[in-house]
Structure 1
Amino acid sequence: MANTNVTKGSCLCGVITLSTTSMSHHIGACHCTMCRKWGGGALLVVECESDVKFTGEENIAVYQSSEWAERGFCQRCGSHLFYRLKENNHYYIPVGLFEHSEGLVFDHQVFIDEKPEYYSFANQTKNLTGAELFAQLTSAE
Structure 2
Amino acid sequence: MSGTKRIEGRCLCGAVTVSALVEAPNLRACHCEMCRKHTSGMFISVSTLPGSVEATGPYTSFPSSAWAERGFCQTCGSTLWYGTVADGVRHPSAGLFEDAAGGEMTLEFYADKCPQGYKLAGEHRKLTTEETEALFAPNEE
Give yes or no for TM over 0.5.
Answer: yes
Any idea what SS the aligned residue of 1:118 has? helix
Q: CA deviation at 1:135?
A: 2.4
Instruction: Note closer, same or farther for the CA distance 1:63–1:102 as it changes in structure 2 (3 Å cut).
Output: closer
Following the alignment from structure 1 to structure 2, what is the Cα–Cα distance between the partners of residues 33 and 90? 21
Alignment deviations for residues 3-47 of structure 1 (CA, whole Å, 9 cap, x no partner): 521111111111110111146421011010110111111111113
**CA distance in structure 2 between the aligned counterparts of 1:100 and 1:117, rounded to whole angstroms:** 25
Residue matched to 2:29: 29
Unaligned 5+ runs, structure 2: none
What CA distance in whole angstroms lies between the structure 2 residues aligned with 1:102 and 1:14?
17
Aligned to 2:13: 13
**Corresponding residue of 2:44:** 44
Contact 1:109 1:128 in 2 (8 A): yes
Closer/same/farther in 2, CA of residues 88 and 8 from structure 1, 3 Å limit: same
- TM-score using structure 2 length: 0.86
In structure 2, how many angstroms separate the alpha carbons of the residues matched to 1:85 and 1:130?
A: 17
Match of 1:84, SS state, is strand
The alpha-carbon distance between structure 1 residues 102 and 55, as it changes in their structure 2 partners (threshold 3 A), is: closer
Give me the TM-score of the superposition, normalised by structure 1: 0.86
Structure 1: gaps of 5 or more residues: none
1:1-141 alignment, distance < 5 Å: 4-22=4-22, 24-48=24-48, 49-56=50-57, 59-101=58-100, 103-137=102-136
CA drift at 1:101:
3.9
1:95-117 deviations in Å (ceiling 9; x for gaps): 11013546411111110111122
What is the rounded CA distance, in whole Å, between the counterparts of 2:101 and 2:55 in structure 1?
22
Q: Aligned-pair RMSD on alpha carbons?
A: 2.0
- Percent identity over the alignment is 36
Q: Letter of the 1:64 partner, please give it.
A: P
